[in-house]
Amino acid sequence: MPTIQTSGPNPTELYYYEQGQGQPVVLIHGWPLSHRMWESQITALSEAGYRVIAYDRRGFGQSGRPTAGYDYDTFAADLHDLMTQLDLRDAVLAGFSMGGGEVARYIGRHGTERVAKAMLLGAVPPYLLKTDDNPEGVDKSVFDGMYDSVKQDRLAFLGDFFHDFYNLHEAGDDGEELLAFSKWLAWAASPLATMQCIVAFGTTDFRADLAKFDVPTLVAHGDADRIVPIEVSGQRTHALVKGSRLEVLQGAPHGFAATHAQQLNALMLEFLKS
């Protein structure tokens, strides 16, 4: 099983899946899933001539489950260890949802020496938490409620969460297989990691990180996202990253990597080749 050993005060093993050859594209999954959420993108990108590397965040999928280190400084250090140990250069970093935070913090802390382009897909930056200097954010009570619900009954919370993740509340929507697959991925995660990541993505300020972006950046977001609304995230990130490109997926929910896979694949390939 391909893994790397991370460094730092809370070391662990990170599992990664690799497919294809060519320019490396690193895919960073969202909460509370694993690298398997990228199934369609891995196939499309590798068939198009790219070396696709999708890894599991600490506490998720097949990676280690330490009792600490669920913060973005550590997540970015883990990504840096992956980049250096695999000696990835001219790489494209693509982060979905909370994975976009890894991309932002990695560039903010480690620069772009190894990075050619970045993709922030339905991503949480620039700053989700509502504060005096971030009045457009989300009330802390929302994240506290998520944390408490996961702590009290994680499986029940996840059962409800994915309906909004994919916008499957509307009558006539058929997504039972997608729901089952997503819950299977989320059930496998560490309960501690599932809780602590809510604190991480709900309270981390990425504005200073985004100011350091100096590579071509794609910001893609669904305009029907109920989990990370585009007004709070994608539109503001586009305004903060100089020269970034904003693509709005009409009618797409948060989980558009699955529901709008062909549209996203085409968009990613076009951006990679541009």
Which are the catalytic amino acids?
97, 225, 254
Region of residue 44 (left: phi > 0; alpha: psi -120 to 50; beta: else):
alpha
**How do 23-28 and 91-96 pair as beta strands?**
parallel
Alpha carbon distance 24, 159 (integer Å): 35
Region of residue 122 (left: phi > 0; alpha: psi -120 to 50; beta: else):
left
Alpha carbon distance 162, 46 (integer Å): 28
> In this structure, which amino acid lies at residue 70?
Y
Task: Find residue 24's DSSP bridge partners.
Answer: 51
Alpha carbon distance 52, 94 (integer Å): 11
Which backbone phi and psi does 260 adopt, to 5 degrees? -125, 45
Alpha carbon distance 9, 59 (integer Å): 16
Neighbouring residues of 109: CB distance < 8 A, sequence distance ≥ 6: 73, 76, 77, 80, 209
